[in-house]
């Protein structure tokens, strides 16, 4: 074992010499000192050894661990000292004020419109449980609707939310009924990227629960939001849809403002672009939120903030939003 430990120390030294960035060093540290490292395997096996073997091998293993940690810390210090840049703080600085991201602007404009209509703005976690993202929304484990959303599952038995709809359950649990809330946020889906699809995008969830709520109320709210946002009457069409958490379900499309309805790659040459998924809240969802479906009804909708930004600023490719390219952001000059 002693020879093996000497080899581990020698290998670590060689790997550290090749590191040029702090991130590289941390990866090497994980390799030699992490849970899956060879050294950690030896340490875990100590409990299986006899008392005499523990007395002999325990101090050796701990000494090797300390030596490995020291080598890592020394290399980190070398890298950090190398990366330090001296500067003259007496030099004049030209201050340039940055601009807000187009989606940030759209999110605020939409939520401001909805606040005027009596909605309360709430937020929810991006790392969500299967229960809030699926089961409480009437999507059991064997439901085919799960195949509609390519989900990022995490090692801690959580997932990255595929929709902002989980906020419906959180809101009902926290506030009860009657209820009128909206929740802007980022969602994640493992999708192939193209001009109108991204694996990370933004939505705003809206929900109203009260006595006597109907689909006419939903249509009015949708039309008001879009008309106020674009400061003009927007051509929309409503068609039947399918969402497990609403019944009946509808999808609302709006005329593509990039091509004026004539057809382009962004709207897949249809002249319309899907903008809103909506419907009447399913009784099972009301039950999950602790609401009596015999007394209350409600509607819910999810608006694609990313696509709204595309329409408002005539952006023909959704991938620019997450590119980190300052040239993309500077063209809007939105302060």
Which tens digits make up the pLDDT trace of 185-197? 999 988 766 655 6
The predicted-structure confidence for 85-126, as pLDDT tens digits, reads as follows: 555 667 676 666 667 788 888 999 999 999 999 999 999 999
Give me the percent of the chain exceeding a pLDDT of 70: 90
Cross-strand partners of 182: 121, 206
Report the pLDDT value the prediction gives residue 49, as an integer from 0 to 100: 85
In the predicted model, is pLDDT for residue 173 greater than 60? Answer: yes
The predicted-structure confidence for 100-110, as pLDDT tens digits, reads as follows: 788 888 999 99
Task: Tell me the average pLDDT of the chain.
Answer: 84
**pTM score, two decimals?**
0.65
What DSSP line would sit under 209-254, residue for residue? EETT--HHHHHHHHHHHHHHHHTS---EEEEE---TTEEEEEEEEE
Of 64, 67, 13, residue with least CA distance to 38 = 64
Angle between helices 102-116 and 305-312 in degrees, nearest 10 = 110
Question: Under CATH, which number does the domain 102-330 receive?
Answer: 3.30.930.10
Q: Average pLDDT, stretch 249-267?
A: 83
Q: Which two tokens stand for residue 4?
A: 């093996």
């Amino acid at each position: 074992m002693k020879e093996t430990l000497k080899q581990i120390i020698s290998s670590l030294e060689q790997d550290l010499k090749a590191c040029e960035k702090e991130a590289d060093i941390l990866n090497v540290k994980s390799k030699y000192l992490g849970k899956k490292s060879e050294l950690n395997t030896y340490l875990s096996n100590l409990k299986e050894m006899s008392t005499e073997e523990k007395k002999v091998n325990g101090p050796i293993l701990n000494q090797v661990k300390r030596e490995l940690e020291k080598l890592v810390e020394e290399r980190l210090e070398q890298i950090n000292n190398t990366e330090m840049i001296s500067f003259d703080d007496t030099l004049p600085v030209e201050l340039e004020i940055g601009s807000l991201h187009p989606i940030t602007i759209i999110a605020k404009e939409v939520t401001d419109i909805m606040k005027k209509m009596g909605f309360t703005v709430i937020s929810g976690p991006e790392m969500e449980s299967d229960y809030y993202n699926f089961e409480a929304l009437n999507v059991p484990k064997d439901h085919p609707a799960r195949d509609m959303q390519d989900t990022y599952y995490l090692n801690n038995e959580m997932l990255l939310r595929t929709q902002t709809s989980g906020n419906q359950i959180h809101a009902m649990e926290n506030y009860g009924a009657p209820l009128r809330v909206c929740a802007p946020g980022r969602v994640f889906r493992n999708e192939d990227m193209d001009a109108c699809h991204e694996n990370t995008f933004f939505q705003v969830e809206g929900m109203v629960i009260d006595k006597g709520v109907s689909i006419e109320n939903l249509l009015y709210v949708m039309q008001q939001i879009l008309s106020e946002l674009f400061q003009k009457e927007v051509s929309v069409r409503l068609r039947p849809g399918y969402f497990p958490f609403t019944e009946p379900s509808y999808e609302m499309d709006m005329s593509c403002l990039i091509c004026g309805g004539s057809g382009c790659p962004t709207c897949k040459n249809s002249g319309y672009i899907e903008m809103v998924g909506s419907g009447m809240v399913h009784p099972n969802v009301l039950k999950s939120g602790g609401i009596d479906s015999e007394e209350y009804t409600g509607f819910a909708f999810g608006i694609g903030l990313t696509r709204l930004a595309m329409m408002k600023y005539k952006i023909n490719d959704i991938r620019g939003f997450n590119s980190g390219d300052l040239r993309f952001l500077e063209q809007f000059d939105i302060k």
